[in-house]
Each structure stands twice: as C-alpha cells, then as structure tokens.
Amino acid sequence: MTEKIVSIKGLWICRAEHAVLEDINLELVAGDFLGLIGPNGGGKSTLLKAMLGLIKPERGSIAIFGLPPAAARSRVGYVPQKTVFDQSFPVKALDVVLMGRYSRTGLLHRYGRMDRQAALEALKAVAMEDRALREIGTLSGGEQQRVFVARSLVSDPQLLLLDEPTAGVDSAQQTDFYDLLCHLNRDLHMAIVLVSHDVTAISKYVGKIACLNQRLYYHDSKELKNEDIEKAYGCPVEMIAHGTPHRVLREHD
C-alpha cells in the first residue's frame, strides 16, 4: 500500500478577507514529482507554507504523512524562495547544512557526530563536499543554492518542497540542479513538489504538473487541459508554453 504523503481536502486560505486559495484538493504518494506552476501571486508559496504548517487554513484539512503539518516537519525538507541573508555572515557551508538538522536534534541539544556525518553526506549529494569549510558568502549563487538544498536534505526528508529554487542560477547549473532532483526522486523515492514559473524547463523533469491561480488545476497527470491554463493565466496557452508569460500578457492587450 502506498502511503499518502500529502492529503489536502477542500482547503481555503484567506488573507485580509480575500481568498488566496480556494477549495484546493491534492494527494501525493511516495515517488510523486509534482511541478506547480501558475502566475505570480497565484498562491504557490502560500500553498507550500500551508503544507509546512506556517499558515492556518480557513477551511478544509491538510495532512502530511497523516499528521498535522507542524507535526510532520521533521520528515519534510524545504528550500525557500531565494534565501536572503547577509553575504558576510560568518558561517561555513557545513554549518548552514547543519541548521537543517534542527528538526531532528531539537531545542537545547547540541549537534553530534551523527549530525555532522549527515551534513557531509548531504553536501556530497549535491556535489559540494569540497566546499564544506568555505564561508557561505564566498560561494557563487548556484553553489549557495546547492548548499540550501543540502540543508533541506540533511534531515532525510521523504517530502521535499522547493519554492522557485533556480531563481538566480544560470542555465547550465539549472540543468544540473534538475538532474539532481530527478535522482532524489527516482533513486531515493522522495516525493517532490517543485514550484516554478518556468513551465517549459520543468516539464521535462516532473512526473505530474498542476497549475495554481487561487484554484488548483490538476488531473493527477502530466497533462493540463488548455482551457485550465488559459483560465489560470488569463491568456492563450501557446504563449505560456513558450516561456515568458509576462511579456505575452502585454502583447495580449
């Protein structure tokens, strides 16, 4: 029997009296790789935050591994949208990865040898082990992003949530990065939710695709109906499939 990793039923989230998410239903099992696309402000980050238990639903339910989201955090890895930090912050890459062990180590306990071992292995998984002792600010944007992915992997998650992880990463590094996600998904059976605005790029890699703009357009497959995308983006589908929805929206007028 495949365990239900994510089970969202009739989820509504409102902010200042406005519905941000409307009647979302979503189920994911082990090995699923979901690409979540949609226009800016469509609620993609909000949905991820709800899955982490950072935002309370107005109506409906979210269960992660059958648990309330906040209780399941130690089994979930999270890569936030563009980590903003002080580039001269005095920590090594290894220290940053260790931070991801917090959910396992807990309040007041110190990191032990096991934690350090896990951190080194996570860095190895993203091919950054030779940078372990470098200060985080001295690494390139792509390298930093890999360190943040390692930080999300270090707690051995079974569900990985990535919020536009390739922002500010050049295209060669992006390909490497997607290959890494495919490896985690295929070989380690990690369920992955990848939020992106780059439809063409991710459609090569993900197993299923959903489109979110307040409502979720999803058919448990890699296919999205044209009318769904048109409804979500408010413009003809062939424009979106070629990438740049923003420029297209202007021509659309």
The answer to whether 115 touches 85, Cβ cutoff 8 Å, is no
Q: What angle do CA 184, 121, 136 make, to 5 degrees?
A: 100
- Regarding 146 and contact with another protein (CB under 8 A), the answer is no
**Least distance from another protein to the Cβ atom of residue 39, Å:** 23
Q: Which residue in 27, 92, 158, 201 binds another protein (CB under 8 A)?
A: 92
Hey, CA dihedral for 59, 81, 152, 160, is it positive or negative? positive
Closer CB to another protein, 46 or 213, in the complex:
46
Q: Report the run of H or E that residue 159 belongs to, with start and end.
A: strand 159-163
Helix (H) or strand (E) holding 95, with range, is helix 93-99
Check if the beta carbon of residue 131 is closer than 8 Å to that of residue 139.
yes
Site string for another protein, 186-215 (x = CB under 8 A): ------------------------------
To another protein, the closest distance from the beta carbon of 190 in angstroms equals 17
Can residue 113 be called a binding residue for another protein (CB under 8 A)?
A: no
Q: For residues 87 and 226, which CB has a smaller minimum distance to another protein in the complex?
A: 87
**Interface region with another protein, contact rule CB under 8 A, candidates 26-34, 107-115, 116-124, 221-229:** 107-115
Q: How far apart are CA 57 and CA 64, in angstroms?
A: 14
Using CB under 8 A as the binding criterion, the count of chain residues that bind another protein stands at 32
Q: In what order do the strands lie in the sheet with 59-64?
A: 18-29, 4-15, 59-64
56 binds another protein (CB under 8 A): no
**249: nearest Cα among 45, 37, 40, 81:** 40
Q: What is the 8-class DSSP label of residue 67? A: B
Is 135 among the residues that bind another protein (CB under 8 A)?
yes
Which tokens in the block code for residue 101?
Answer: 């062990």
Q: Which lies closer to another protein via its Cβ, residue 154 or residue 240?
A: 154
Nearer to another protein, 11 or 96 (CB): 96
Residue 65 or residue 102: which is nearer to another protein going by CB? 102
Residue of 174, 36, 150, 35 lying closest to 83 (CA atoms): 150
Query: Among residues 106 and 250, whose Cβ is nearest to another protein?
Result: 106
Where does this chain bind another protein (CB under 8 A)?
Answer: 49, 52, 54, 70, 73-74, 78, 80, 83-86, 88-92, 95-96, 98-100, 102-103, 105, 107-108, 110-111, 135, 151, 155
